[in-house]
Copies of this chain bind each other. A is one copy, B any other.
Amino acid sequence: MRAFWSPRIRSLVPYTPGEQPKDRTFIKLNTNENPYPPSPKALEAIRDAAGGALRLYPDPDGSALRDSLAALHRVKPEQVFVGNGSDEVLAMAFLAFFDPEQELVFPDITYSFYPVYAELFGLRFREIPLDEAYRVPVEQFVGRSGGVVLANPNAPTGRALPLDGIKTIVEGNPQSVVLIDEAYVDFGGESAASLVDSCPNLLVVRTMSKSRSLAGLRVGYALGGAHLIAGLDAVKNSFNSYTLDRLALAGAAGSLADPDYFQETVDKIIRTREQTAGRLRELGFSVCESAANFLFLSHDRVAAKELLDGLRARGILVRWWDKPRISNHLRVTVGTEEEMDALCAALAELVGA
């Protein structure tokens, strides 16, 4: 089956995204999607863009969107890169800034796409163990030579590292890029975006998939020094001139034009998360402190795999990994209050509470 494959892709083990069921309706708490629809302004902007101008290529630089993002984050437009989801931005950053001759580091428990990118681009990497409470051992991420990647808040744990920890790591690796993946930061983390002016080796990656309810539109971006953004542009323009279609550019701009809707949605999810965490703890679950739109939990009497299957049988999808240190945990996306009621009821039944 691998006839004609280049030697360098023969051993790839691709990332496996959470299931996107096509046939049956589930309460879908497995891919950290936002339970609320995108801003009406985003949808309106998309409908307005769905016209004859689609015959024309989009702006290859996405300049208007870069300008809006620069205004939001109080940086210059040349400090903003935009891409087809933060996964694409991450892939391009791995290729642009990490060197096959050096050793890249990231935590042992984190977004499982990182080792996949490293394999794709032939990068050596080391996974540094989180501590027993899944906290980042800051000092072990200092003085590395080949780059650092950290999700903050981390996935699948939801734990956030305070900004001073991030700063220590960025300043402790002056010769290599520190990439902070802030996919979930809007739900309670402290963003490192404020540091990009003073830290030339810092790249912050963001997405509109989670807090802006636009997973289906594929818009991600990066913030960093203009020299880092130019590197991402060089890779992007050597790979695909037009990574963002006209509808994605329009929808993203529409979302940014509606800050109130964004804040309301985020606030609702944070409230629901805290209520749900409390109820789950009452049911005997250990629940990680979360600054994200998901909860990471385990039960001391009922195995996570059993809970996964039991929830699925009850029409609820959550995420589980058969991996060292986390195979007795589930990651559960924070949905609507009604979805969380159903989740808590099902889990109560499964743990016999």
Contacts and interface: CB of A to CB of B under 8 A. Distances in A.
Interface string A33-74: 111111000110011001111111111100100000000000
Given A5-B97, A87-B239, A87-B240, 9 more contacts: A2-B230, A3-B227, A4-B227, A12-B234, A12-B235, A15-B241, A16-B237, A22-B63, A43-B54
A238 interface: yes
A348 interface: no
A351 interface: no
Interface in A210-255: 213-218, 226-228, 230-231, 233-248, 251
A2 B117 contact: no
Interface string A109-138: 000000011011000000000000000000
Given A98-B6, A227-B3, A33 B12 contact: no
A88 B239 contact: yes
Interface residues of A, number: 89
A4 B237 CA distance: 18
A161 to B, nearest CB: 22
Interface in A288-304: none
Top 5 nearest A-B pairs (CB, nearest first) are: A14-B237, A37-B52, A216-B246, A54-B216, A55-B213
Interface in A1-38: 1-9, 12, 14-17, 20, 22, 28, 31, 33-38
B14 A238 contact: yes
Contacts of A96: 5-6, 9
A217 B4 contact: no
Contact of A241 (B54, B87, B243, B247): B87
B50 A46 contact: yes
A177 interface: yes
B38 A54 contact: yes
A152 interface: no
A215 B55 contact: yes
Contact of A56 (B46, B84, B117, B216): B216
B216 A245 contact: yes
B218 A242 contact: yes
B52 A38 contact: yes
Given A50-B50, A52-B37, A243 B5 contact: no
A103 interface: no
Given A54-B217, A215-B56, A238 B12 contact: yes
A189 interface: no
Query: Which of A3, A9, A50, A226 is most buried by chain B, counting CB atoms within 10 A of its CB?
Result: A50
Nearest to A28: B56
Contacts of A47: 47, 50
Nearest to A118: B238
Nearest to A18: B57
Nearest to A203: B4
A230 B100 CA distance: 26
A148 B127 CA distance: 39
Nearest to A98: B6
Given A14-B238, A33-B55, A57-B209, A245 B218 contact: yes
B7 A99 contact: yes
Contact of A4 (B36, B215, B216, B231): B231
Interface string A175-195: 011000000000000000000
